[in-house]
Amino acid sequence: MRYLLIMLCASVPLYAFSLEDETENREFVLDCKERVSVETEFFSSLSKKAIEVDRVLCESLLDVNPAVTSRESITDREQQAVLSKFSDQAEQDARLIARNVNIRKIEVPFKYLSEKIAEGDIYSKQLPSFSLDLVEVGGEDIYKLHFSNTVKTATFRFADNKKCQVKYSKNCDKLFDEYGKVVNQYKSSYVKLTADETIKQLDALSLQWDRYLGQARSQTTLELLLTTWIEGSHFKQGRLVGPPKRQWSVLHPSLVYEYFEAGQSGDEYKMGVAVEWFGVNWWDKNTSPVGIPFGVSLSSSYNSWANYSNVGHGLMLHFYNSYSIGWSNRDGEDSFYVSIDLLKAVTDKKKTFEMYKSKMGDIK
C-alpha cells in the first residue's frame, strides 16, 4: 500500500489547456466631461443639447461608471427635464427640415421618443436611436424616419429627396444622416458604459469556462452530452452562463496501477484498465460539497491475475480533478488502484508514469 500512498502524494503537473485566448483585460475608459461632439453644419444647437444629455446620463450611472469622481447629485427629475428639452429641440429641428420636404406624420416618432425616454430610472433607461431607412412600400421607395420603432414612423417620398437642396445644399437623406448623428450623441456614453459593464460580466464567465476547460476532468463527447442533459436546467436559465458545477462520467476509461495482494502472480502490482460506468465530479472547490474538487464513480478494473477473475467491480474516488483511487472486489478479494486520468495522459503524463514506475522499482 505504501506505493499507492507514494503515488497519491506525488506531485503531478496539472495539464491545463486553455481553449481560448487569454481574456483581454483592456480597460475601457470614458470621461463624461470630455465627449467630442460630431461636426455639424445645421444642428449645432441640438448638438450642444445632445452632448449635455449625454454628460448627465453618463455621470448619473453611479454604479456603472466608477471613473467619475467629482459627481454632482443629479436627480431623476433633473434627468427627465434635460431629456425632455432635448426631445423638444430634436422635434423642432426635424420640423424645420419638414418645411422643405413633405414629411408625413412628423409628430409620430417624436411622440414615441418623448414617451420612451421618460420611462424608467437611470439604470433601466430605454434610449431609442434615430434612423432613416429606405424601404419599399407598395412598389414605391419611401424614406422612413423613426426612433427604434419601425411602426411609429414619419415618411417622405424618395422622389422628394432633392427638395432639401434649395436650403441646405444637400439631399434630404444626407441631411437626416447628419441630423441622426447629432441626435444619437445623447445616448453614446450610456450605450458604451452599460455595454462595457456587460462585457466585464461576460469576461468573468469566459474565465470560468477557461478554468473548466483547463482544470476540470477531461470529458468525451458522450460525457459532454450526458453532462449537458443532466445539468439541463443550468443551461436553460434564459441567460448566458458559466460552466456547470458538476461533471458526469459515463464509460470513461483510465489506465491504472492495481495492487492485489491475493494475486500471487509474482507481482502484486500491475498496470491495468479501469472503466467508470457512471459517476459525478464536483470540479470546482468553490462549489464542491467537501471543499475540494471531488468525484465518485461506479467502476470496474481489468487485469490478469492468476486464479482470479480478470474483472473486479467497485468504486473510484477522484480528487483535484487529476487524482483517482479505486477499489475493486474480485471473487471476494479486494484490490486497490490509483489512476491518472488516461485521457489526460498525453506525452507528459506518459513520462510521469515512467517516473512512477522507476521509483517503484527503486523502492522495491
Partner 1 sequence: MSDTPVVILVHGMGKHLPDEITKDFVVSINSNLNQISGHEDDNISDLVKIVEINYDAFFDKVRLKMAEKAKPVAERLDAISQITGVSSWGAGLIQKLTSFESNFNDDKLFYTHWLDVIFYTTLLGAKVRVDVAKKIAETIRDHAPENKIHIVAHSLGTAVVHDTLSQLFRGDFIANDDIPDLDLVTHRLKSVWMVANVSRLVNDFTDISNPYNSTVRPSIEGCMDYFRNVRHELDPFTRISQFDPKNDNNWVPRDFYDSGYKNIETSALTKMNPHDFSEYIRNPKVSLPLLRQFLRIVPEKQNSDEIFDNFLGSSLAGAFEGLKESFKEIKITDTSSLESFLKIGKEFSKVVKDFRG
Site for partner 1 in 232-261 (CB under 8 A): 232, 235-236, 238-244, 251, 253, 255
Q: Which of residues 196-215 bind partner 1 (CB under 8 A)?
A: 196-199, 201-203, 205-206, 209, 213
Tell whether residue 287 is a contact of partner 1 (CB under 8 A): no
Q: Does 40 bind partner 1 (CB under 8 A)?
A: no
326 touches partner 1 by CB under 8 A:
no
Interaction of residue 173 with partner 1, rule CB under 8 A: yes
Site string for partner 1, 300-319 (x = CB under 8 A): x-xxx-----xx--------
Q: Which of 11, 25, 70, 221 binds partner 1 (CB under 8 A)?
A: 221
Helix axes 44-60, 188-215, angle to 10 degrees: 40
- Look-up of cell digits 495492487: 259
CB atoms within 10 A of CB 245: 15
Cβ-Cβ contacts under 8 Å for 191 (sequence gap 6 or more): 127
Span near partner 1 by CB under 8 A; candidates 4-12, 95-103, 320-328, 345-353: 345-353
Nearest approach, Cβ of residue 273 and partner 1 (Å): 5
Query: From CA 6, how far away is CA 357, in angstroms rounded?
Result: 11
How is residue 113 written as a grid cell?
Answer: 421618443
Q: Does 177 bind partner 1 (CB under 8 A)?
A: yes
Residue 19 sits in the site that holds partner 1 (CB under 8 A)? yes
Other CB atoms within 10 Å distance of the CB of residue 171: 16
Choose among 182, 196, 221, 216: nearest CA to 322.
216
**Which residue in 17, 31, 44, 88 binds partner 1 (CB under 8 A)?**
17
Q: Where are the alpha helices (DSSP H) in 69-130?
A: 76-98, 107-118
Task: Give CA–CA dist 29/32, Å, rounded.
Answer: 10
Identify which range of 76-84, 188-196, 281-289, 322-330 contacts partner 1 by CB under 8 A: 188-196
Find the binder of partner 1 among 190, 257, 294, 323 (CB under 8 A). Answer: 190
- Rounded to an integer, what distance in angstroms lies between the CA atom of residue 179 and that of residue 91? 11
By beta-carbon proximity to partner 1, the closer residue of 99 and 201 is 201
Cell of 351: 513520462
Decide if residue 264 touches partner 1 (CB under 8 A): no
Compute the distance between CA of residue 260 and CA of residue 269 in angstroms, rounded to an integer: 7
Nearest distance from residue 188's CB to partner 1, in Å? 6
- The closest alpha carbon to 353, from 257, 285, 247, belongs to 257
64 binds partner 1 (CB under 8 A): yes
Q: Is 14 in the site for partner 1 (CB under 8 A)?
A: no
d(CA 287, CA 61): 33
For the CB of residue 23, give the shortest distance to partner 1 in the complex, in Å: 9
Tell me the helices (H) and strands (E) count for the chain, helix number first.
10, 9
CB of 176 to partner 1, least distance (A): 11
129 touches partner 1 (CB under 8 A): yes
> 136 forms bridges with which residues in the sheet?
141
Does residue 128 belong to the site contacting partner 1 (CB under 8 A)? Answer: yes
Side-chain-facing half-sphere of 243: CA atoms under 13 Å: 24
In the block, cell 470560468 appears at: 208
| Nearer of residues 99 and 287 to partner 1, judged by Cβ | 287
What mask, x for binding partner 1 by CB under 8 A, covers residues 105 to 124? Answer: -----------x-----xxx
